Amino acid sequence: MNEQRRQILEMLSEGTINADEAERLIAALDRNDVVDSAAQPVAKGKIKYLRVVVDDRSDGEQTKVNVRVPIQLLRAGVRLASLVPQRSLDRANAELQRSGVGIDLTRLKPEQIEELIDHLDDMTIDVEDHDSTVHVFCE
């Protein structure tokens, strides 16, 4: 029995509420429990690969590219990138600013990028042209 039910029963025994009110409160608690259990995030299947599939016929000749990149490789790349010294990041930032790209690389933390990778399974990118298609997804 959880704490809220116990409090309702105590209120009933003290005469603060009557039996009908106690019944309504317990019913409301039951409804909340159902909603909470439905809102629990379902464990997602672990993605293993990032896939890039390109099909191009723009030159009159069919070109197919099929790339499968392990997600672990992305994670390892992020960890390697986190070793880049601060002064190199500052210089890269300056060059990016000069090129009109307003991205501050020093504010990108490895944990954030790893979180991004964790949510890649929701991502699907489909680009379709009359001659070519690009499909990026995770599996």
Q: Which stretch binds another protein (CB under 8 A): 18-26, 72-80, 96-104, 112-120?
A: 72-80
Q: Give how far Cα 17 sits from Cα of 13, 115, 139, Å.
A: 8, 48, 55
What is the bridge-based pairing of β-strands 63-70 and 49-56?
antiparallel
Q: What are phi and psi of 93, to 5 degrees?
A: -60, -45
Q: Which stretch binds another protein (CB under 8 A): 32-40, 64-72, 90-98, 128-136?
A: 64-72
| Interface with another protein, residue 6, by CB under 8 A | no
Please, what is the minimum distance in Å from the beta carbon of residue 89 to another protein?
Answer: 12
Please identify which residue in 41, 85, 100, 102 interacts with another protein, judged by CB under 8 A. Answer: 85
| Interface with another protein, residue 46, by CB under 8 A | no
54-63: long-range contacts at Cβ-Cβ below 8 A with a sequence spacing of 24 or more? 54/132, 54/133, 54/134, 54/135, 55/132, 55/133, 56/131, 56/132, 57/131, 57/132, 58/129, 58/131, 58/132
| Interface with another protein, residue 48, by CB under 8 A | yes
Please, what is the minimum distance in Å from the beta carbon of residue 51 to another protein?
Answer: 9
Please identify which residue in 4, 5, 9, 49 interacts with another protein, judged by CB under 8 A. Answer: 49
Q: Which residues bind another protein (CB under 8 A)?
A: 48-49, 61-70, 72-73, 75-77, 79-80, 82-85, 88
